[in-house]
Structure 1
């Protein structure tokens, strides 16, 4: 019997500030070349570093594709590992985006919970990927940075009842190549899909709003 196909959406960000090449989008393009296996349809999307674009694009992605999972990939100039973010935060957005804009309320969703956790067990995913012998270190974080990465993650978690993930990557060559990052994303998302299978039975209990 043929396995049911699953759809996964993976996003990266466009250039911003000093980063004329955003490693997150390069890594996502590498992942697109590799794919996620025969039973997973992969859709990739580049997101501009703009709050209002995120507010428009994220709900549209969920509505259009009804994916099993959405994984957002972002760049952290301070990161030296590939970092799995456990949660998104609603409040504290003061940094200006590429349009010199930030939300007047300094929050993602007015009246939304302060923090939303992913339904994916990031500790389990990290442990599983770390046993694969990839030449990439994977770590866990609870603070996605209160900029467009965190804003995107929270918005997506809110619209998906927690069925989203966020992965921070370091700048290219510091220390990983685009190919290494693509392979790491492939392994991480495979582990996330496996974890989702286990949690599907109680998915509807999480993060109701």
Structure 2
């Protein structure tokens, strides 16, 4: 079983391309004969982790790819690391705005993705979709969910997971704005490529995909 997640709209937006991409990727992968479910998570600290945990318990997936929106980025970001820190620059959808709080009390400082992010980078790029390995998932609900996922998977031997950020979709960008965007169809294909690559690679490739800052 493969689990894909996306988020409800937040920050005044009417939609969230992360959820749309997860739903479309589910359709693509089901068409290839894979068992895939998609779950929409609330953009709320704590509640997102709870909903994800319930999905893990109900579905017992072997592979989990969580997807979130990173407005302002110009490519699909394959997140490498989740940190044990909630530090919200804006309130979540319930009005919560934690500052310098642990995601998990006394949890490790960080978890690395267990997806083959560098192999996926090559595969997504080969598919003609701009992509990068990202060294930060931020400190908002996306990182909160990514950390909660990896903390949960630490006690589930054999299960792997990670997080992918996607840009705005074109409909979110106001006329005249220079903000980058990407069609949801491209985001969905990228998520599908990440899943295919993860199923094909139990270990990652060794290639340079870091950053200088």
TM-score range, shorter chain: 0.7 to 0.9
Matched, 1:72 2:66: yes
Which position in structure 2 is the counterpart of 1:207? none
Given that 1:93 and 1:147 are in contact with CA atoms closer than 8 Å, whether structure 2 keeps it comes out as yes
- In structure 2, runs of 5+ residues without a counterpart are 171-179, 205-213
Quote the offset at 1:130 in angstroms: 2.0
Q: Which residue of structure 2 aligns with residue 169 of structure 1?
A: 166
Matched, 1:183 2:173: no
Matched with 1:144 is: 137
SS of residue paired to 1:17: coil
Answer whether contact 1:36 1:186 (CA < 8 A) is retained: no
- Asked whether 1:49 is paired with 2:49, we answer no
> Residue in 2 aligned with 1:101?
96
Q: Unaligned regions of 5+ residues in structure 1, if any?
A: 1-6, 200-209
**TM-score with structure 1 setting the length:** 0.84
Tell me the residue number matched to 2:177: none
Greater Cα offset, 103-112 or 157-166 = 103-112
Counterpart of 2:18?
24
Partner-residue secondary structure (3-state), 2:201 = helix
Q: Give the match for residue 150 of structure 2.
A: 157
Moved more, 98-107 or 137-146: 98-107
Backbone CA RMSD of aligned residues: 1.9
> Alignment partner of 1:40: what SS?
coil
Count of aligned residue pairs for this structure pair: 190
